Amino acid sequence: MKLFNSLGPNPHTVRMFAAEKGIDLPLQEIDVIGGEHRRPPYSTLNPMMQTPAFEADDGQIIVELTAICEYLEELHPNPPLIGATPGERAETRMWVRRLDLNIIEGRSRAGRATMGRAFYIDKIKLLSVEAAEELRAVVEDRIVWLDGQVAGKTWICGDRFSLADIMLYCFMAFGAPESGNNLPAGTPNLAAWFDRVKARPSAVA
């Protein structure tokens, strides 16, 4: 197996997930800044032209970080990071879906249209800067909502550290100052949660 890796929070999520499980994941670096992901052979392997992509031992290519993590969990169920029971798996998937729909996709889209504008402008369709700022505000509203949901919990799924924590951590850590995070103001519960995740050895994977 190997992971087509690059800078960015999406590959980081898979590396951290694998590190939590003690999986030695060989990496093949893809130069996203140099546009390697938009040219063959990578663009043939992953027509979405994004990283990460994962090549299984039987040669199957799996794309989308949640699909890759699900696959790794099936091969290496312990420690469970999606869940050991149907109920645990459903709870993790509920949070992962909420993160994807309400925070991660919106934050990525807004970031590409603002901070990343010069890089992306001639490559993909972008929101206007104004729309991106509005989207950023919508996302921040959902993060503040999430802050209330994690009050009194150690992890997003309560006592159970999961893929949901890894995903949100990698996105809130990406591009953040060394001593801080990308969380909006008014999220003290998530700020404490962020520091707990950051203290795990896997965070630097």
* 8 binding ligand GSH? (CB under 6 A): yes
* 51 binding ligand GSH? (CB under 6 A): yes
Q: Which stretch binds ligand GSH (CB under 6 A): 3-11, 146-154, 156-164, 190-198?
A: 3-11
Alpha-carbon distance of 132 to 10, in angstroms, equals 20
* Closest separation in Å from C-beta 127 to ligand GSH: 14
Which residues in the 118-147 window bind ligand GSH by CB under 6 A? Answer: none
Q: Which of 204, 183, 185 is nearest to 194 (CA)?
A: 183
Which residue, 12 or 160, is less far from ligand GSH as judged by CB? 12
* 106 binding ligand GSH? (CB under 6 A): no
Q: Which residues pair with 155 in a beta bridge?
A: 158
Which residue, 139 or 147, is less far from ligand GSH as judged by CB? 139
Residue 1 contacts residue 56 (beta carbons within 8 Å): yes
Alpha-carbon distance of 158 to 22, in angstroms, equals 23
* Kind plus residue range of the DSSP H or E element containing 90: helix 86-99
Alpha-carbon distance of 137 to 178, in angstroms, equals 24
One character per residue 61-90, x = contact with ligand GSH (rule: CB under 6 A): ---xx-------------------------
DSSP character at residue 100? I
Which residue, 147 or 181, is less far from ligand GSH as judged by CB? 181
* Kind plus residue range of the DSSP H or E element containing 27: strand 27-29
* 10 binding ligand GSH? (CB under 6 A): yes
Which residue, 3 or 156, is less far from ligand GSH as judged by CB? 3
Bond before 188 cis per omega within 30 degrees: no
CA distances to 108, 110, 143, 174, 194 from 136, in Å: 9, 6, 10, 16, 20
* Closest separation in Å from C-beta 166 to ligand GSH: 13
- Selected binder of ligand GSH within 15, 37, 109, 136 (CB under 6 A): 37
* 9 binding ligand GSH? (CB under 6 A): yes
Which residue, 161 or 171, is less far from ligand GSH as judged by CB? 171
Q: Which residues bind ligand GSH (CB under 6 A)?
A: 6, 8-11, 32, 37, 50-52, 64-65, 108
